[in-house]
Amino acid sequence: MTSPSSSHSGFVSLVGAGPGDPDLLTVKGQRVIQQAQVVVYDRLVSPEILALASDQAEMIYVGKKLDYHCVPQDQINQLLVEKARLGKRVVRLKGGDPFMFGRGGEELEALAQQNIAYEVVPGITAAAGATAYAGIPLTHRDHAQTVQFITGHVQQNGQEIDWSSLAHQNHTLVFYMGLKQSEHIEQQLLKQGLDDNTPVAVIENGTRREQRVLSGTLNQLSALAQQAKSPALIVVGSVTLLHHRLGWFQRD
């Protein structure tokens, strides 16, 4: 797409704010936020990152939380188009990375259909950030050679995840937005043959001062999830055992 300087009909930067710690925002992300005339932001973007925007910038909240969307996705798409058509420099600011379960692709499709110029500024996705702060390596030669990221919205339009493709040894699973579906996740993985004692962790508020890690085994997953609050990640695999030895992040 064209650059902001060459576009006469506005420009949209799709920016990942990272998983929570404001220091994990990229340098480019900081620059485009500071230059934005309009910032359309989600619920999990930290106040410190929002404070980077100009005092003259129009700030528009479109956050989502479990079972409640204050602004439907099609209206968000239209909002981005309308602001860009006014010739504005728009930042669409999302927690984590915009292409990792963030509907960033849907928003770019809407912009592309209207010939709106855009760019993508990646962010650190929650799985990478939260596990790093918890001392849980996603891969490790002694534990896991592969890793999969899965949406916690485990059933869409009546189509179930292929659980048999997930239940493997020497493998790490990371479920985004999985608290509500934790019992279903536990049951399906056990049904596919994962051992009851497979280690798991639930990381609440990853990379934030409020971060908390709940550890246990697969047959305890739903009970652990009931103790956690959103946002939280579910990690399944023996790499979670390393949290007790490698965990380094201390709350203030």
Active-site residues, by number, are: 42, 64
SS3 call for 133 = helix
84: CB partners within 8 A, 6+ apart: 9, 10, 11, 12, 90, 111, 116, 117
Contact criterion met (CB below 8 Å) for 198 and 218: yes
- The phi, psi pair for 13, rounded to 5°, reads -105, 120
3-state secondary structure of 47: helix
Residue 30 DSSP class: H
Taking Cα atoms as reference points, which of 41, 51, 49, 40 lies closest to residue 20? 49
d(CA 185, CA 244): 24
Helix, strand, coil percentages (3-state) for the chain, rounded to 5, are: 30, 25, 40
Q: What is the DSSP letter of 145?
A: S
